[in-house]
Structure 1
Amino acid sequence: MSETLDTPAATAAVITEPVPDLQLQLLMRLLDREQRSSLPITLTTSSGILHGDLIGHEAWKADWARALRQVEGEGTNLLAEFPETVDQGLREMVADDDASSLPRWIHLRDATLVMGGAGKVRLSLWRGRLADVSGWALGRPQ
């Protein structure tokens, strides 16, 4: 028996999201193998052109933890542990078969965001959703 458009299965909402670039995902997975590695990269996003050093998740997490330790005030000791706490929570949520999935986030160190007419924004660390990157090239603009 064939389904018609009137059945609930045929009219159920389908959630779609942009598909990240497979080659960029594999490049990031390669960088995750060596925490000290980085590559100069330029990204195109809806916010503008972003360039910096592409780093793996572990390198970004270590830099983020270092930056959080420099924050002053009460409770800062909790902030220093926050990156590892987040990763631990995510590991517990993800099933074993999903653990080998491709990266969904991209990380840059010493990044510069160039926005049309608004100038440049410099960022020591940047994290973004890979699906929001519409184009990329190795190297930085000259």
Structure 2
Amino acid sequence: MTEDTAQESHEADDEVTLADARPKDWMLEALARIYGGADGKSSLGLTIQSNGATISGMMITTEAFLTILGAQFKTAGTDALEPLLKRWAEDMAEFDATNEKLAEQGKNVPARQYIHMRDVRVFSGSATIELAIWRGTLADVTGWSLGISARD
């Protein structure tokens, strides 16, 4: 069976495999699940290592990330991206609803794939970059710690 037919078979039975459900770091994935899909108001100070950089900020929900991103688009005068933001929000809601349904049925729920942060500082070598928001894959995180790094 090729990778493509395995993917088609996976999509056909709409079942999440155990490999899909297992994150690289189950503890960080649990935090992302709590603070990435919570009430939209929760946030958590977090510092991670990813691809040789230290990234520090407040972990936020996907909804909060999209809200801030939308505000940035409006500030930049790019209202043309409004349909894209709407589509992302719809996709996210559909994903969350599907996961809730799987959990209710006692089936495996896929691990969260992304982490979202606000008020971010990225440290790479001697450079520091400040960002309003940041999105990265959980699979690329090699280490993490609670709290925000204030390295100057």
Name the TM-score, length of structure 1 as normaliser.
Answer: 0.74
Aligned to 1:57: 62
CA distance in structure 1 between the partners assigned to 2:92 and 2:61 by the alignment: 17
CA distance in structure 1 between the partners assigned to 2:95 and 2:40 by the alignment: 24
Which of 29, 38, 59 aligns to 2:33? It is 29
More helix per residue: 1 or 2? 2
Structure 2: gaps spanning 5 or more residues: 7-18, 103-108
Identity of aligned residues (%): 26
Deviation at 1:125, TM superposition (A): 0.5
- Structure 1 or 2, whichever has the larger Rg, is 1
CA distance in structure 2 between the partners assigned to 1:94 and 1:138 by the alignment: 25
* Superposed structure 1 runs of 4+ greater than 4 Å apart: 89-95, 97-100
Name the TM-score, length of structure 2 as normaliser.
Answer: 0.69
The letter for the 1-side match of 2:90 is: Q
Structure 1: gaps spanning 5 or more residues: 1-8
RMSD: 3.1
User: Cα gap change, 1:94/1:39 in structure 2, threshold over 3 Å: closer, same or farther?
Assistant: closer
CA distance in structure 2 between the partners assigned to 1:25 and 1:85 by the alignment: 25
CA distance in structure 1 between the partners assigned to 2:38 and 2:95 by the alignment: 22
Count residues in correspondence. Answer: 128
After TM superposition, the structure 1 = structure 2 runs for residues 39-118 of structure 1, keeping only pairs within 5 Å, are: 39-72=44-77, 76-89=78-91, 96=98, 100-117=109-126
Deviation at 1:90, TM superposition (A): 6.3
Is the 8 Å Cα contact of residues 66 and 80 (structure 1) preserved in structure 2?
no
Worse-superposed segment, 84-93 or 58-67 = 84-93
